[in-house]
Amino acid sequence: MGALHEGHCSLVKQSIMENDHTVVSIFVNPSQFAPHEDLQSYPKTLLKDMELLAARFPNKPVDAVFVPTVSEMYPSGITLDVGNQRGAFVLVLGCSEQLEGVTRPQFFRGVATVVSKLLNIVTPDKIYFGQKDAQQCVVIKNMVKDLLIDTEVRVLPTTREESGLAMSSRNQYLSPESKQHSAAIYRGLNAGEIFYYSQNGPTKSTDILDKVRSIYNQEEKSRFELEYLSLNHPETLDKLDIVTPGEGAIMSTAVKVPRADGSGQARLIDNVVLK
Ligand SMILES: Nc1ncnc2c1ncn2[C@@H]1O[C@H](COP(=O)(O)OP(=O)(O)OP(=O)(O)O)[C@@H](O)[C@H]1O
Ligand SMILES: CC(C)(CO)[C@@H](O)C(=O)[O-]
Ligand code: BAL
C-alpha cells in the first residue's frame, strides 16, 4: 500500500533474486478499510517510494511500479456495506469470523478482492507477502488454492526495528516515545514463544498467552491498549486451546497506541509462528 520501508524492500529484493521481472504495486485499497478506519490519513509518499526503490535496487531495478487509481481498480464502484459482506470470497475463505475479521469485518473481503484483481492484471508466477500480516497471508493462500489461481504465494519473514518492533507504514503515526512502548508488542510475543519452546511438548494456550500478558501488563493502558491476543491454527485460523509441536500455531496480536498528532490511536499488528 506504499509508504515503503525495509519490510517492503525485503519482498522486492527476494522477487528480484528469484524472477526475471518484478512489478511493485502501490495502491491504498479503500475496500479493506471500514468507514471509521484510517483510509484518509494513511501515509501516501509515492515520490519518496519511487526514490527508495531506485536507490535500493540500482543494479537490477524493478521493471514497473503499478499505481492504479481507485476507479481503474473498481470500475463498478465499491460496496462498503458491512452487513452485506457474505460474498463469494468470504464463503470460499471461510475465516471471516476470526481475529482481524472480528474487528475489521470488511478486511478479509477487501484484501481478497484487490489481490485477485492485482493477480488478474499482472498474472505473476510468484507473489510476495510479509509474515507480519499473517492472517492476510492465510486468506490469500486459501484464495489462490480455492480459486485455482496459477501463482506461487511466497511469504517472507517480518523485518523488525532494532527494538523488535515490526516495521509498518503505520509506525509513521507514532512519536519516538510511543514507538518505544510499542516495542513491548514483540517483547511479549517473544516471551510467549520462549515459554512454549521450554515446554517441549503440548502446551496450554492460556499458559503461553499469560507469559505474553505479563509483559503487556507492565504498560499503562493509556499508552498500550490490547485489542486481541490469540493462538490459532496456522492454516485454518481456528482458535487453539492447546499448541502441539509439529502442528504449531500463529500467535497474533493487535494493539492500539496513541498517535503522535493526538488524533486518536494507531492500530499495530504482529505475530510469531510457533512450530
Ligand atoms: N515488517 C515487515 N516485514 C516484512 N513484510 C512486511 C512488513 N511490513 C509489511 N510487510 C508486507 O508488505 C506488504 C505490503 O504491506 P502494506 O503496504 O500494508 O505495509 P504495512 O507496513 O504492513 O502497512 P500497515 O502499516 O498498513 O500494516 C504486505 O505483504 C505486508 O505483509
Ligand atoms: C495485500 C494488500 C496489498 C491488499 O491491499 C495489503 O493489505 C497489504 O499491502 O498488506
Ligand atoms: N498491511 C495490511 C493492510 C491493512 O492493515 O489494511
Cβ(252) – ligand 2 distance below 6 Å: no
- DSSP for 134-201, please give it: HHHHHHHHHHHHHTT-S-EEEEEPPPB-TTSPBP-GGGGG--HHHHHHHTHHHHHHHHHHHHHHHH-S
Q: Helix crossing, 205-216 with 184-199: angle to 10°?
A: 150
C-alpha to C-alpha distance for 172 and 261, rounded to whole angstroms: 11
pLDDT band at 49 (very low <50, low <70, confident <90, very high): very high
Amino acid in the structure at residue 95 = C
Q: What is the mean pLDDT of residues 93-122?
A: 84
Whether 29 contacts 110, CB under 8 Å: yes
Say yes or no to pLDDT of 84 above 80.
no
Helix (H) or strand (E) holding 16: helix 6-18
Say yes or no to pLDDT of 86 above 50.
no
Q: How far is the CA of 129 from the centre of ligand 2 (A)?
A: 8
C-alpha to C-alpha distance for 273 and 79, rounded to whole angstroms: 34
Q: How far is the CA of 198 from the centre of ligand 3 (A)?
A: 33
C-alpha to C-alpha distance for 268 and 254, rounded to whole angstroms: 6
pLDDT of residue 222: 92
pLDDT tens string 176-222: 999 999 999 999 999 999 999 999 999 999 999 999 999 999 999 99
C-alpha to C-alpha distance for 220 and 242, rounded to whole angstroms: 29
Can 5 be counted among the known catalytic residues? no
pLDDT of residue 81: 58
- Measure the CA angle with vertex 111, ends 225 and 265; round to 5°: 20
Q: What is the mean pLDDT of residues 222-249?
A: 95
pLDDT tens string 5-25: 999 999 999 999 999 999 999
Residue linked to cell 472480528: 102
C-alpha to C-alpha distance for 182 and 273, rounded to whole angstroms: 19
Instruction: List the residue whose alpha carbon is closest to atom 21 of ligand 1.
Output: 168
pLDDT of residue 95: 53
pTM, rounded to two decimals: 0.94
Instruction: List the residue whose alpha carbon is closest to atom 1 of ligand 2.
Output: 111
Q: DSSP label at 260?
A: T
Q: What is the mean pLDDT of residues 97-104?
A: 79
- Of the chain, the percentage scoring pLDDT greater than 90 comes to 87
C-alpha to C-alpha distance for 239 and 134, rounded to whole angstroms: 15
Say yes or no to pLDDT of 88 above 50.
no
Instruction: List the residue whose alpha carbon is closest to atom 3 of ligand 3.
Output: 1
pLDDT tens string 144-180: 999 999 999 999 999 999 999 999 999 999 999 999 9
Q: How far is the CA of 170 from the centre of ligand 3 (A)?
A: 9
C-alpha to C-alpha distance for 120 and 139, rounded to whole angstroms: 17
Say yes or no to pLDDT of 37 above 80.
yes
